[in-house]
Amino acid sequence: MPVKKTDKIWMNGTLVNWDDAKIHIMSHVVHYGSSWYEGIRCYETAKGSAIFRLDRHVRRLVESAKIYRTQVPYTQQQLEDAVLATVRANNLRACYIRPVVYRGYGEVGLNPLGCPVDVAIAVWEWGVYLGQNALNDGIDVCISTWNRPAPNTLPAMAKAGGNYVLSGMMKMDALQAGFGEAIALDVNGFVSEGSGENIFLIRDGVIHTPPFSSSLLPGITRQSIIQLAREAEYEVVEMNVPREMLYVADEIFFTGTAVEVTPVKSVDRVPVGDGKPGPVTRALQKAFFDVVRGGEDTRGWLRWM
Catalytic residue among 159, 171, 276, 286: 159
* Residue closest to 304 by CA, chosen among 48, 97, 78, 96: 48
Report the nearest approach of ligand PMP to the CB of residue 184 (Å).
9
User: Angle CA(293)–CA(296)–CA(299) in degrees, nearest 5?
Assistant: 120
Nearer to ligand PMP, 186 or 193 (CB): 193
Residues 6+ apart with CB under 8 A from 191: 183, 185, 199, 210, 214, 241, 242, 243, 245, 246
Nearer to ligand PMP, 39 or 155 (CB): 39
Confirm whether 159 is a catalytic residue. yes
What is the pairing mode between strands 8-11 and 117-124? antiparallel
Report the nearest approach of ligand PMP to the CB of residue 296 (Å).
19
Report the nearest approach of ligand PMP to the CB of residue 19 (Å).
27
Nearer to ligand PMP, 212 or 304 (CB): 212
Per DSSP, 242 falls in state B
In angstroms, rounded to a whole number, what is the distance separating the alpha carbons of residues 177 and 254? Answer: 20
Report the nearest approach of ligand PMP to the CB of residue 25 (Å).
26
In angstroms, rounded to a whole number, what is the distance separating the alpha carbons of residues 97 and 87? Answer: 8
Per DSSP, 149 falls in state P
Nearer to ligand PMP, 58 or 117 (CB): 58
User: Angle CA(37)–CA(40)–CA(135) in degrees, nearest 5?
Assistant: 120
Report the nearest approach of ligand PMP to the CB of residue 47 (Å).
23
Nearer to ligand PMP, 198 or 209 (CB): 198
Contact positions toward ligand PMP, by CB under 6 A?
A: 39, 159, 167, 193, 196-198, 217, 219-222, 255-257
DSSP string, 98-123: EEEEEE-SS--SS-GGGS-EEEEEEE
In angstroms, rounded to a whole number, what is the distance separating the alpha carbons of residues 210 and 214? Answer: 6
Residues 6+ apart with CB under 8 A from 207: 200, 201, 229, 234, 235, 236, 237, 280
In angstroms, rounded to a whole number, what is the distance separating the alpha carbons of residues 225 and 27? Answer: 38
Report the nearest approach of ligand PMP to the CB of residue 171 (Å).
11
Nearer to ligand PMP, 108 or 172 (CB): 172
Give me the active site residues, please: 159
